[in-house]
Amino acid sequence: MTAQSGSTETDGAREARARGSDEPRDSLQALYEDPATPVASGPDRSRRQARILARALGRTEPGVILDIGCGDGSAAATAAPILRPHRLVGVDWSQDALRRANRHLTAVRGGLDDPGLPFASGSADAVLFSEVIEHLVDPDAALDELRRVLRPGGHLLLSTPNLAAWYNRALLLGGVQPVFSEVSMRGIYGRPGKQVVGHLRLYTARALRQMLPAAGFEVVRMSGAPYHDVPRPFRPLDRLACHAPSLASILLVHARRREGS
């Protein structure tokens, strides 16, 4: 969230519009292949998620952790020392992101839609799914695919912006579009901010607590994280809101694949 409101149009979105494409998938692909589109959520959040996962995995034999939507690999590079001796493998479908990610870790091209991820069923001990689900056209199919590649009891670490963040509740009362929401691929309209990042869906803590069990996961713990673009005077309040995840800027969810699912 920034104090500035207005709209911008990324080079990728302009290129897609110049091609005359009305297909959402084409516009999204251009957006995600645009090097100007942010592909990392910051080192603090990466360390926070890595610590949660390290505690969950404990001192087991080295396992395989898939970072789905790894972006430029910087988040995985931050998490790797905390997650040793486990092996991190990045997955993304943006060729530009993969070129950058391979500087930090082994990264392969793959997607959550058909034909699915390039991994055998039950081959992963854990999945990092950081700020991906809000970009998906079909999150149900994505969760099914994550459940497939996870072993029974395997861990899912999911993070996503919170539609019901404390400031969004106030903005809606004032008739302002919530932060993180996007009504157009061409620019930001009706709310603070200026960077189009391709958010298609937004979630609340309540929605995730209901959706994940329906997809075959058991929610172990939900916590909150601050958002780096909150204006400086409001950052103490944003950190305080993390103690009540339903009010936090970012939702962090630790879930496990249910045995037999």
Q: 30 in a domain, yes or no? A: yes
Q: Would you state the pLDDT for residue 260?
A: 78
Cβ atoms of 150 and 127 within 8 Å: the answer is yes
The residue-averaged pLDDT of 215-240 equals 96
Domain count, the chain: 2
Task: Quote the percentage of the chain above a pLDDT of 90.
Answer: 71
Instruction: State pLDDT tens for residues 175-193.
Output: 999 999 999 999 999 998 8
Instruction: State pLDDT tens for residues 16-51.
Output: 333 333 444 446 667 666 666 665 567 888 899 999
Closest CA to 104 of 145, 125, 134, 74: 74
How far is the C-alpha of 20 from the C-alpha of 79, rounded, in Å? 41
Lowest mean pLDDT among 8-12, 64-68, 141-145, 249-253: 8-12
The residue-averaged pLDDT of 59-81 equals 91
| Structure letter (DSSP) for residue 105 | S
How far is the C-alpha of 89 from the C-alpha of 202, rounded, in Å? 27
pTM of the model: 0.85
Q: Would you state the pLDDT for residue 153?
A: 96
Considering the domain architecture, whether residues 189 and 208 belong to the same structural domain is answered as: no
How far is the C-alpha of 75 from the C-alpha of 66, rounded, in Å? 12
Considering the domain architecture, whether residues 175 and 209 belong to the same structural domain is answered as: no
Domain extent for 101: 38-162+203-229+239-257
Q: 234 in a domain, yes or no? A: no
Considering the domain architecture, whether residues 30 and 130 belong to the same structural domain is answered as: no
* Mean pLDDT, rounded, of the chain: 87
Considering the domain architecture, whether residues 189 and 220 belong to the same structural domain is answered as: no
Instruction: State pLDDT tens for residues 90-138.
Output: 999 888 889 999 998 999 999 998 889 999 999 999 999 999 999 999 9
Q: Would you state the pLDDT for residue 235?
A: 97
Considering the domain architecture, whether residues 222 and 96 belong to the same structural domain is answered as: yes
